[in-house]
Amino acid sequence: MSKPKYKIIEDYIENQINKNLLKAGDQINTEEELIKKFGFSRMTINKAINNLANRNLIYRKPGIGSFVKHRPIKKEINNLSISFTEDMTNNGLVASSKLLAYCLIKAKKNENVKKILELDDNDNIHYFKRLRFGNGSPIAISESYISAKNISDFNLSALDSSLYDYLHSLGFEIVDSQMEFSAAIPNKEQEYLLKLDNTALFVSKTIMTANYNNIEEKTEYTVTYYNGDIYSYKI
């Protein structure tokens, strides 16, 4: 039995998504382009697009077009060793990062972080801000503060992958992690970077304690802003 025409269109678009030729947030071919490509009726094209939307593979913006939807991403919060990179791998995605900002600051410049990391006024802190991707699509923005007590020089190229892998390579062993969760309304920069459309942010705040040379200290404080439509935590 031959495949229905609408199914041919449906499979074509789904294959483009599965092969990562179309990433989350990308616009798929318009109805006119699909009609021209396949020679099928508008009704057939529309049925295929509706089916993809009903399966949560795409979403429609009236008057604009149809776009690839983010895959839902789940994170196990009872596993302290799972980093963003491992999260992506566990969800079948390839993680990557883009460094947006880096500077070395004095603890006294940020009283909140100074208190959290239990630092003195003149202690140094590595601050960096990263845009986090899964299969090339923006998923989160993280702002991290790392105590410079035992890390005088920070290899910024290591931030392209897993921060925890880098810390482990320096001799740090994670022994405890405290997490706090909340929701937030994105600002203009967050909307732009994460390509949000009337979407709330899922916010996690993590305080990591590590063992270094047999001394346990609070080493890292990170605030991460996730696209709330696609990211969820599992306890």
pLDDT tens digit sequence for 173-222: 989 888 888 889 999 999 999 988 888 999 989 999 999 999 999 999 99
Query: How many CB atoms neighbour CB 111 within 10 A?
Result: 10
Name the residue with tokens 């795409």: 58
Q: What percent of the chain has pLDDT over 70?
A: 94
What is the helix (H) or strand (E) element at residue 219, kind and residue range? strand 215-227
Name 74's Cβ contacts closer than 8 Å, sequence gap at least 6: 91, 232, 233, 234
Name the residue with tokens 């009236």: 62
Please write the tens of the pLDDT for every residue from 60-99: 888 889 988 877 776 666 555 467 887 788 777 788 899 9
Please write the tens of the pLDDT for every residue from 143-174: 999 999 999 888 888 888 788 889 999 999 98
Confidence bin at 3 (pLDDT 50/70/90): confident
Per-domain boundaries in the chain: 5-68, 73-233
What is the distance, to the nearest Å, from the Cα of residue 132 to the centroid of all Cα atoms in its chain?
5
pLDDT at 110 over 80: yes
Where would I find the beta strands (DSSP E) of 69-169?
73-76, 95-106, 124-134, 137-147
Confidence bin at 14 (pLDDT 50/70/90): very high
Task: Check residue 158 and give its pLDDT.
Answer: 84
Query: Is residue 53 within 8 Å of residue 59, measured between CB atoms?
Result: yes
Q: Which residues pair with 202 in a beta bridge?
A: 183, 226
Task: Check residue 106 and give its pLDDT.
Answer: 97
Instruction: Mark 172-181 as b/e (b = at least 16 C-beta within 10 Å).
Output: bebeebeeee
Task: Check residue 196 and give its pLDDT.
Answer: 86
Confidence bin at 113 (pLDDT 50/70/90): very high
Please give the CATH number for the structural domain made up of 5-68: 1.10.10.10
* Most confident of the following: 21-30, 39-48, 53-62: 39-48
Task: Check residue 76 and give its pLDDT.
Answer: 63
Confidence bin at 234 (pLDDT 50/70/90): low
Question: Regarding the domain with residue range 73-233, which homologous superfamily does it belong to in the CATH classification?
Answer: Chorismate lyase-like (3.40.1410.10)
Task: Check residue 38 and give its pLDDT.
Answer: 93
Phi, psi dihedrals of residue 231, rounded to the nearest 5°? -110, 135
Distances (CA, A) of 190 to 98, 178, 202, 209, 227: 14, 24, 12, 28, 9
pLDDT at 47 over 80: yes
Task: Check residue 190 and give its pLDDT.
Answer: 95
Top pLDDT among 9 and 19 is at 9
Task: Check residue 44 and give its pLDDT.
Answer: 94
Q: What is the DSSP letter of 214?
A: T
Distances (CA, A) of 84 to 37, 73, 173, 224: 39, 11, 17, 10
Name the residue with tokens 């630092």: 119
What is the distance, to the nearest Å, from the Cα of residue 191 to the centroid of all Cα atoms in its chain?
13
Task: Check residue 235 and give its pLDDT.
Answer: 58
In angstroms, rounded to a whole number, what is the distance separating the alpha carbons of residues 82 and 192?
A: 27
Task: Check residue 105 and give its pLDDT.
Answer: 96
Amino acid letter, 7: K
| pLDDT mean across residues, the chain | 88
